[in-house]
Amino acid sequence: LLEPLSNYLSKVDLGTKQYIENYVLTYPKRRLVNASVKDHINIELNGQWIDAIVSKVDASLMRVFLPVLNKHEWLYRGSLRLQPLFNSLSSYEPPCKRLAAEKPLTLSNNKCHFLLIPLNYGWKRQIRNDLGTIVYVSPCGQMFTDGERLHAFLYQTQSLLSIRQFTFDMNCRVTQKFIS
């Protein structure tokens, strides 16, 4: 708990690292989504953006109604699950031009672990403890929480990456070095 911030940040993925650094540097100011009752807003749920309707705003929280699930949920107005904030803080490129321009992958060019190769080509791997899953974010911003959809995406975009270079195992920390 009293560990220096730099030590802690070395253990998290790049997207989360940037979010935490930004939060600490701008504290006590917080980047919150401005919303009013009855506003429509997209929120992330299981790797998909779905429409929600703001039903109540209370300080830094907001209650949203999810019509597709017919349920309410409270969200922190600074959550990256809110699309306006996600878009303002993420650095993804517009629809998948980057994937089409990938240079060929060969094992001789990549001297890193095979699970790190997608990260070197602009993919992000997020550990979502709140959802109990891994989320892969493509360079163009699409999110994947399961191998089947990810495999279909790789096939449709004719990516040279293989589904075997991705893992949805929550216990696998692909960016941490093994020290025996």
- Are 109 and 158 found together in one domain? yes
Peptide bond into 28 cis (omega under 30): yes
pLDDT for residue 45: 85
Contact 63, 72 (CB under 8 A): yes
- Residue 105, domain member (yes or no): yes
pLDDT for residue 26: 72
Domain count, the chain: 2
- Are 158 and 102 found together in one domain? yes
- Are 54 and 108 found together in one domain? no
- Are 105 and 139 found together in one domain? yes
Collect all residues with Cβ–Cβ distance below 8 Å to 173 and sequence separation of at least 6: none
* Range(s) of the domain holding residue 53: 40-89
pLDDT means per 10 residues in the chain (180 residues)? Answer: 61 66 73 90 86 93 94 90 77 46 48 84 84 84 87 89 91 74
- Are 101 and 157 found together in one domain? yes
Q: Rounded distance, CA 34 to CA 56, Å?
A: 12
Q: In the chain, count H helices and then E strands.
A: 6, 7
Q: Count the Cβ atoms, other than its own, within 10 Å of residue 118.
A: 23
pLDDT for residue 101: 46
Task: Please say which residue of 89, 113, 128 terminates a domain.
Answer: 89
Per-residue 3-state assignment (H helix, E strand, C coil) for 40-60: EEEEEECCEEEEEEEEEEECC
**Residue 47 belongs to a domain with what CATH number?**
2.30.30.140
